[in-house]
Amino acid sequence: MNSAGKLTSSSSELDLDRPNIEDYLPSGTTIQQEPHGKLCLRDLLNISPTLSEAAGAIVDDSFTRCFKSNPPEPWNWNVYLFPLWCCGVVVRNLILYPARLLVLTIGWMIVISFFIPVRFLLKGHDKLRKKIQRSLVEMMCSFFVASWTGVVKYHGPRPSIRPKQVFVANHTSMIDFIILEQMTAFAVIMQKHPGWVGFLQTTILESVGCIWFNRSEAKDREIVAKKLREHVQGADNNPLLIFPEGTCVNNQYTVMFKKGAFELGCTVCPVAIKYNKIFVDAFWNSRKQSFTMHLHQLMTSWAVVCDVWYLEPQTLKPGETPIEFAERVRDIIAHRAGLKKVPWDGYLKYSRPSPKLKEGKQQNYADSMLRRLEEK
């Protein structure tokens, strides 16, 4: 069949799906036909591709759905359940929260009281100092997990220190790092943060080889890429952990993986993280909530329930590009954690549409209107 035939067939199929406006009018009512050449408002608005695109963006925006928190369905909807819910609120906020805050405070005091002397007194004993600092970082993260009553189940062999390997995981919240760190002291690639989180980054987490970057500075990418290559070559360095999505996603979807972790020429070890929302949604929407308030939300819930899978290591296949390698690893993680894949770049979350993109959409809309006018 020729192209014209295909186009005619396709148009006829679309016409069959279009509703007939006369079916929705009262009986006996007819549509008045306008004189030929007269342009009406409905003619200007009848631009199917543009309207279809706009409706699709409003009704089914698969990008923004990746970053929406979905609260659980309320269960305190009758007179019998509401008193139980009220008792739960009192217990969580007036009993569990103070106790958890006390546990976290004591943990911080213990870690810092040991960390500072070790840092300055064992300067000439690097191997011993790194070993103790690694244990202190794992202890600090364990206190964090305890402050949420974290119920974490780890599947698979525990990561070990080996050269030329990198661990990659899907990303839901900054607590992903804490949950993984309490088992193994990873050196993580992380965005720079202000406040007390920044203090932890520069004083404690730097001791395990963590690398910081700033999304707003383009030169940081080259510096980070160089540090990554140097780190994976070291036999005594802590395992490297990267969240290749580059942003927090709501643990129902997975966005595109950045290729940086997959072009280092080393073994990639996938890690799948899945949270159970039975008590709390662990997704951190950094645009609406500070990390302190996010921790408060976790600490006033009953528990954080999570599964972590350390999956089979993967290597680059012959003829496979880093982008294809990243997609293959993303498939493995998405399948294990039950996540839906979407073809979006997570960095769009931090960016506005470029002027070029907006001008292109405006030009397309103008062209559609001009064609409509010429038909009249």
Which residues span the domain enclosing 180? 149-345
pLDDT grade for 73, boundaries at 50, 70 and 90: confident
Any domain includes 368: no
The pLDDT score that the predictor gives to residue 1 is 46
| pLDDT tens sequence across 163-200 | 788 999 999 999 999 999 999 889 888 887 778 888 88
The pLDDT score that the predictor gives to residue 322 is 92
The pLDDT score that the predictor gives to residue 354 is 59
Any domain includes 369: no
Any domain includes 29: no
In three-state secondary structure terms, 283 is: coil
Question: 130 Cβ partners below 8 Å, 6+ apart?
Answer: 207, 236
| pLDDT tens sequence across 113-157 | 998 888 888 887 888 888 898 899 999 999 999 999 999 999 999
Any domain includes 2: no
Using the predicted structure, report yes or no on whether residue 23 has a pLDDT greater than 60.
no
Do 142 and 245 touch, CB atoms closer than 8 A?
no
Any domain includes 231: yes
Any domain includes 232: yes
Any domain includes 123: no
The pTM (predicted TM-score) of the whole model is 0.75
| pLDDT tens sequence across 234-252 | 777 888 999 999 889 999 9
Looking at the structure of the chain, the number of domains it has is: 1
Any domain includes 22: no
Do 82 and 76 touch, CB atoms closer than 8 A?
yes
Using the predicted structure, report yes or no on whether residue 358 has a pLDDT greater than 70.
no
In degrees and rounded to multiples of 5, residue 179 shows phi and psi of -65, -40
Q: What is the mean pLDDT of residues 349-376?
A: 69
Report the 3 state secondary structure along 63-77. CHHHHCCCCCCCCCC
